[in-house]
Each structure stands twice: as C-alpha cells, then as structure tokens.
Amino acid sequence: MSEKIREMFGSIAGRYDFMNDFLSLGIHKTWRTKTVKLSSAKKGDSILDCASGTGDLAIEFHKTVTDSGKVTATDFCEEMLLIGIEKFKAQNLKIETSIEDVMNLTFADNTFDISSIAFGIRNVDSPKKGLEEMARVVKPGGEVVVLEFGQPYGWFSLVYKILKIIYELFYQ
C-alpha cells in the first residue's frame, strides 16, 4: 500500500501544486497560515514537517521560527520533496530535508518542539503508528500538529465537485 501511495505521488509531483491551488481555489494557503498561527510555534523553535510533499507547510513554519530556529521537511516520496527543495532554494530558505517514512522516523526521541503533518495523515498506512512516531520525536510539552481535510459540504461541496470534473477533463 505505502509503495503504491509513494508511486502515485511520484507520478503527480510536477503538477501537485497546481492541483492544490485549483481544487481548493487557493484556500489551502490560508489554512496553512492559520495552522501555524494556532500552533505554539515561535522564533527559534525546531520543527519537523512530516509528509511535507512540496514543502508549503515547512515554508509557512519557517516564516515564524526564522533562521534562528530549524525547520526540517521530510517525505517518503523523493519526487515531491525535490519540488520543495527547488522552492526553498528559490526563496533562499534554510530548510533541511530528509527522506523519511513517518511511520519509522530516523530522529531521536525528544528532538523537536513541534512535529506537523498537512493533508498527509489520511495517506499513511497506519495513522496511529505515524502519530506515535511524531509524538516520540517531540520534546516533553511539545506539539503534534495535524492539518487535514474534512468532506466538503454545503455550497463548497458543489464547487469542489465541479472543479474536480474540470480538472479531470482538462488536466489529467
């Protein structure tokens, strides 16, 4: 299962950001900003972003922790992370990267102030194992931050269905 997910993201990595902007009408940017604001992140903190994909949440955390802290972006799909690395370089951001499976992180216990995952936990084979690992690597009193979709409802559900059909017709 994990291998299929990894291959799937590898095959869409180049168009993932466009897909995200298109299907959420750009709202995902606001959700990321809000997520960082709701977290306890502050200047100087160390953040581990898991299933970081093309790195947008890592970039958002970096705005708060700055270069006096440390942000590490990780994913088990190299193709996704490579797009993130290009963005970090283009924006001159000091964000570290590592290929990691969230269910088996290579970091020591109690390493980070915060571990985070955006739109990723639903793709993980064992969300429980992933969350346990994320909790293991944060310091006592640290935070595990999860940003995830619910099912669209009301008017947005209709808009989402229409956008999805347009995307599938023209961009897939």
Ligand X SMILES: C[S@@+](CC[C@H](N)C(=O)[O-])C[C@H]1O[C@@H](n2cnc3c(N)ncnc32)[C@H](O)[C@@H]1O
The binding site for ligand X (CB under 6 A) comprises: 2, 5-6, 9, 20, 51-54, 56-57, 75-77, 80, 101-103, 118-120, 123-124
When the beta carbons of 36 and 80 are compared against ligand X, the nearer one is 80
Question: CA geometry: angle at 22 spanning 20 and 27, to 5°?
Answer: 70
When the beta carbons of 77 and 114 are compared against ligand X, the nearer one is 77
- In angstroms, what is the minimal distance from the CB of 155 to ligand X? 24
- In angstroms, what is the minimal distance from the CB of 107 to ligand X? 13
When the beta carbons of 38 and 44 are compared against ligand X, the nearer one is 38
When the beta carbons of 65 and 117 are compared against ligand X, the nearer one is 117
- In angstroms, what is the minimal distance from the CB of 118 to ligand X? 3
When the beta carbons of 9 and 61 are compared against ligand X, the nearer one is 9
Do 103 and 132 touch, CB atoms closer than 8 A? no
Measured from the Cβ of residue 44, the count of other Cβ atoms closer than 10 Å reads: 13
- In angstroms, what is the minimal distance from the CB of 163 to ligand X? 16
- CA 124 to the chain's CA centroid: 12
- In angstroms, what is the minimal distance from the CB of 162 to ligand X? 21
CA distance 41 to 7: 32
Sheet harboring 46-50: ordered strands across?
95-99, 70-75, 46-50, 112-118, 138-147
Cβ-proximal residue to ligand X, closest one: 53
Q: Where are the beta strands (DSSP E) in the chain?
A: 46-50, 70-75, 95-99, 112-118, 138-147
